[in-house]
Structure 1
Amino acid sequence: MANSYFQFKQFRVEQDKCAMKVCTDSCLFGAVVEVKEASRILDIGTGTGLLSLMVAQRSKATIDAVEINPDAATQAEENFALSTWAERLALHPVSLQEFAKYNQQNYDVILSNPPFFLASLKSGNAAKDSAKHTGDLFFEDILAFAQKHLTPGGQLYILLPPAEARHFAELATAHQLYLTETIEVYTYIQGQCIRHIQTYRFTNTATPTITQLHIREADKTTYTAAFTELLRDYYLHL
């Protein structure tokens, strides 16, 4: 059974109300996105609030977080309130579609770890299915919002499995957003690629940069030096 909370060095994420718990690939995503120079950040589908808290730790940005699930929204709001950066974090307990109707802000960084399984079977657990499958939150909605509200030099970051990442890249060009970088995340050296961390900008680059990042060494236990460096400021025992 998953813990009711996940303790980081500078904040704590309570997760008993959320179907999707803190996981390694989400933590890696939160550590990778470039936010140092950002003034305003949007986290789409914040869940527990993990990504918003991670980017708040290493930026001075004002952060809006959107979450449609009522329990998850309540949890994220509670996690924000208990953090050091509460005054810079705002929770919007609505769908992205509803948020788009009243939002007047533009963002230097938009990031999302969205529901992503397009074709896989659902579990039967409604809360978990909503968190993992593209039902309430569609790729097109993310792209349309980013096209309208990303600043000219801004960046859209998204975390997806490989197949869904390729599909998202195909859809993005219709919204004048272009894939500029992909980080392929592997479970361990010589292991399986489980996620793509993609960066999109309005600038069209002919050949996106592709790098590989392994979570663990070939022994499947020891964190790699690259992973350790990224998560050192977050994980308690690194």
Structure 2
Amino acid sequence: MANAYFQFKQFRINQDRTAMKVCTDSCVLGAWAEVKDAKQILDIGTGTGLLSLMVAQRSHAQITAVEIDAAAAAQAEENFAESPWKNRIVLAQKSLQQFGQENQQQFDVIICNPPFFQASLKSPDTARTIAKHTQELPFEDLVHFVKQFLTPEGIFYLLLPPAEAEVFRNLAFKEKLFPARELQLFTQPDGKHLRTIYAYSFWEKPTQKQSLIIRNPDQAYTADFATLLKDYYLIF
């Protein structure tokens, strides 16, 4: 059973009322995204608020977090309120589609760990199904939103399993969004390719490709992982 909270160095994530808990790959996304010079950041599907708080720690940006699920949004609000950056984070409890109809703001960084199972067995837990499946956030809607609201020089960070990442990449290419950077996550040496993070921009150029192995064969975290997460994890 997952812990009711996850303690980071500078903030705490309460997660007892949310379907999706703190996970390693999402932490990698939050640490890998380049946000130092960002002025306006959007976190799509914030869940517990994890990504918003991670990027708040490393930037001076104003952050907008969007979350469709009422229970998750309430928990994210709680986590934001208890953080050092509560005055820089605003939460919108609505679908991305509704947010897009009302939004007047452009963002120089958009970050998203979206629902990703396009056609698979649904969970009996409705909240968890919504959190893990694309039924409420089709990839096409996500691409169109990013194209409309990302600044011309902005970056869109997206975390997906490898197969879904390639489906999205093909859709993005048709909309003139191009992968500037790619990070492939592996559980351990010679282990499973767990997730892919793409950093999309409007500039077409060769993709800078990297890989990150999370654990050594002895199950200790790798030096690369420790370096990336050292500002967040208590154990480093």
Alignment of 1:128-167 (within 5 A): 128-167=128-167
TM-superposed deviation, 1:169 = 0.2
TM-score, structure 1 as length reference? 0.97
Alignment of 1:197-216 (within 5 A): 197-205=197-205, 207-216=206-215
Which letter maps to 1:224? T
Task: List runs of 5+ in structure 2 lacking aligned partners.
Answer: none
8 Å contact from structure 1 (residues 186, 213) kept in 2: yes
Alignment of 1:1-238 (within 5 A): 1-205=1-205, 207-219=206-218, 221-238=219-236
Which letter maps to 2:138? F
1:191-235: CA deviations, max 9, x gaps? 111100101000012x3222110001122x110111000111101
1:38-88: CA deviations, max 9, x gaps? 000000000000000000001000000000000000000111111000000
TM-superposed deviation, 1:123 = 2.0
* Mapped partners of 1:134, 1:185: distance in 2: 22
TM-superposed deviation, 1:127 = 1.0
8 Å contact from structure 1 (residues 53, 80) kept in 2: yes
* Mapped partners of 2:96, 2:181: distance in 1: 25
Which letter maps to 1:193? H
1:87-144: CA deviations, max 9, x gaps? 0000000000000011111101001000001122112221111100101111111111
8 Å contact from structure 1 (residues 187, 194) kept in 2: yes
* Mapped partners of 2:234, 2:210: distance in 1: 27
* Mapped partners of 1:120, 1:109: distance in 2: 30
TM-score, structure 2 as length reference? 0.98
* Mapped partners of 2:58, 2:210: distance in 1: 23
Which letter maps to 2:126? A
* Mapped partners of 2:120, 2:221: distance in 1: 30
Which letter maps to 2:3? N
TM-superposed deviation, 1:189 = 1.2
Q: Secondary structure at the match of 2:74?
A: helix
Calculate percent identity across the aligned residue pairs: 56
* Mapped partners of 1:125, 1:112: distance in 2: 22
Q: How many residues align?
A: 236
Q: Secondary structure at the match of 2:27?
A: helix
* Mapped partners of 1:37, 1:142: distance in 2: 24
* Mapped partners of 1:237, 1:165: distance in 2: 31
* Mapped partners of 1:138, 1:51: distance in 2: 21
| Runs of 4 or more above 4 Å deviation | none
Q: Secondary structure at the match of 1:188?
A: coil
8 Å contact from structure 1 (residues 67, 95) kept in 2: yes
8 Å contact from structure 1 (residues 190, 218) kept in 2: no
* Mapped partners of 2:217, 2:88: distance in 1: 40
Which range moves more in the overlay, 23-32 or 136-145? 136-145
TM-superposed deviation, 1:174 = 2.1
Task: List runs of 5+ in structure 1 lacking aligned partners.
Answer: none
TM-superposed deviation, 1:184 = 0.4
